[in-house]
Amino acid sequence: MAGATAVQMGTACFSHPSAPIQLIDDLQSWLDANGCTSISDIVGVANPRFAANQGA
């Protein structure tokens, strides 16, 4: 939610090698449960300055 993408997944793989599989399995369910239609709906929402600039 902070805007990072592949870097975080790469780092997660060092300590949890099955992280990509878990992400694939769980992501769509989480998006549906939280009323999101796309992963882009949550990218950057933890950073108020980023979110504010998305409407510009």
User: pLDDT tens digits for 2-21?
Assistant: 555 677 778 888 899 998 88
Closest CA to 31 of 43, 21, 39: 39
CB of 50 closer than 8 Å to CB of 44 = yes
Name the band, by pLDDT with cuts 50, 70 and 90, for residue 32: very high
CB of 54 closer than 8 Å to CB of 44 = yes
Average pLDDT (20-31) is: 88
Q: Which two tokens stand for residue 30?
A: 């989480």
Residue 56 confidence (pLDDT) above 50: no
Q: List CB contacts of 22: < 8 A, sequence separation 6 or more.
A: 16
Q: Which two tokens stand for residue 24?
A: 């694939």
The predicted model scores a pTM of 0.55
